[in-house]
Structure 1
Amino acid sequence: MAGPLTGMKVIEMAGIGPGPFCAMVLADLGADVVRVARPGVAPDPLDVLARSRMVLNLDLREPQAVQEVLSLVAQADVLIEGFRPGVMERLGLGPDVCLARQPRLVYGRMTGWGQHGPLAHAAGHDINYIAISGALHAIGREGEAPVPPLNYVGDFGGGAMLLAVGILAALHETRQSGRGQVVDAAMTDGAALLSSMMYGFKAAGQWSNHRGDNMLDGGAFFYDTYACADGRHVAVGAIEPQFYALLREKCGIANDPVFDAQMDRQAWPVLKLRLAEVFRTRTRDEWCALLEGTDACFAPVLDWDEAPEHPHNRARQTFTHLQGVLQPAPAPRFDRTPADAPHASAVSTPDAVRARWQTAI
């Protein structure tokens, strides 16, 4: 493995969603990640989140399997688990036991509700966690129900990415103190944190509780998506005056005085209808030829098949293939310690992992 995290040894307790995504990000950047999975679970090329791992098939109901994990903990830098609070303790792999084996261990815990609180032991999914943060209420069209933003805000943004940040922060502190600690990453906390700017706007009287009434939620006509003559869509985000002026010029509406009222919220609904009429006059590709690459803050809305073929994504090699499966490449990029391309996961044994990690030391 190559990358800025080369030498980091991570144990991942196999789960779904944010835990695997966090482990994938660490593995992509060079960490040596060992995934502990149930017996019979084989690496699947279609499970993109499970790439670049060694896999140990262990039945944690067996005392010997628990001891195998603890033997790896003694050599590890990080452990990631995403079970409900108390499950790891019942398995005999709770933080106290693991930190006794490896005092420098960073023990990352990924849950929806967090390790404590009235809802800590309840079941849930991304949509539930972002609902109580305020984020879900803000996403959607005026007069319509809130729209789930896939699982980006809770699972991956507010969950996995903040767990990764927490793990790296804890490892930095460990270099100074020589002591590990528990990182409690709750998606409810993370989704709220991702909403920091909106809470600031709300306090300043610049954001309302009404969906589709604000600058960044589709309320502003200059920050929205529009259908083209061929039924495809484009995305416009011309907020700043100079970018808005260029958009008007390119769209042929620079001399239409009705569009002078950019920041008049009362005019937004009418201006949105007018701009929608403009975009319906050409196909998406025709608008791309006119606007893409300019400062009009424009982009085509691409589907899953189109995105990998976009010239910008191809130039940056944003996507890659692994075992015939198209998938996003590791990010971000590093100039001095670039990461390797993802590799296929493979089943291993505790003895092989211990030997590998001992050699790394």
Structure 2
Amino acid sequence: MSGSNFVDYVKIWFASGKGGAGSAHLRRAKYVPKGGPDGGDGGRGGHVILRANPQMWTLLHLKYQKHIKAEAGENGSANNCTGRQGKDVVVEVPLGTVVKNPDTGEVECELTEPGQEYILMRGGRGGLGNTHFKSPTNQTPRYAQPGEPGEEGWRVLELKVLADVGLVGFPNAGKSTLLATITAAKPEIADYPFTTLVPNLGIVPYRDFQSFVMADIPGIIEGAADGRGLGHRFLRHIERNSVLLFMIPATSESISKEYKILVNELRKYNPELLDKRRLLAVTKCDLLDAQSMQNMHRKIPKDIDYVLISSVAQMNLDVLKDKLWKLINE
């Protein structure tokens, strides 16, 4: 999933179809000069419907669509014929898509189940034909209802990546290297910060043909919850992960300090993130000598389980997968 292809935010103007007008027709035939009202109802306007598609990973297909409009319903006609219903527009989106009102910031819906549908803009109802208005005192009504207008407005679609494990850490902590090592994903890897600018997903194979999904989230910096760096653009992806894997290099000056900064950024963004199960992976342990490895446990926070790993040297990666699998299935 390259950076140019991954789109997790679009703003689109949606409009449903207006309802068709009812008919005010009066029946006229060769031998029936006063046949009475026979105007049909108008057809319903088309809905705009969002549908969750588990085969999609990005909102790229909507990036260049600024206006999406459904079809209007047809007017009613003679002989009590109802107008044709306007064609619905079904917009397919990835699992994890959130719909927001850009003016109020209110979340309208979240699509998290395969095939889940949500009527974003409801089509206008068709008007009633004059047949509905005849009565003993008014046997030839010459009026009918107009169709109702459809709904319209701007909506923001945001994607929050769905994954079992989310990688949380500062830039250049080894997250992309780990993902590339234990999955078939091919994220960009380099020895400078902010190589990863969009989330990358990979499937981690496990024992007995089982697997789980891992997401490499762009690196956090101090102040990210306040919008610094990539700010909320990547923090929202962490909300969907079942387990958070904190990754801090063994060469860090203070593992405890970095861990506290990461936890604090998550707390400021959304305190509920701290209720998720956590594991700490101390990366790049192939750079340590034997004595430093023995002393490593003194530098690690006491309130979190940890594993010492090296993606390059394939060190303790099976142990890491075992611990993650246990957390996912608790």
- Whether TM exceeds 0.5 here: the answer is no
- More helix as a share of residues: 1
Largest Rg, 1 or 2: 2
TM-score (norm 1): 0.26
Task: Kindly indicate whether structure 1 or structure 2 has the higher relative contact order, using CA contacts under 8 Å at least 6 residues apart.
Answer: 1
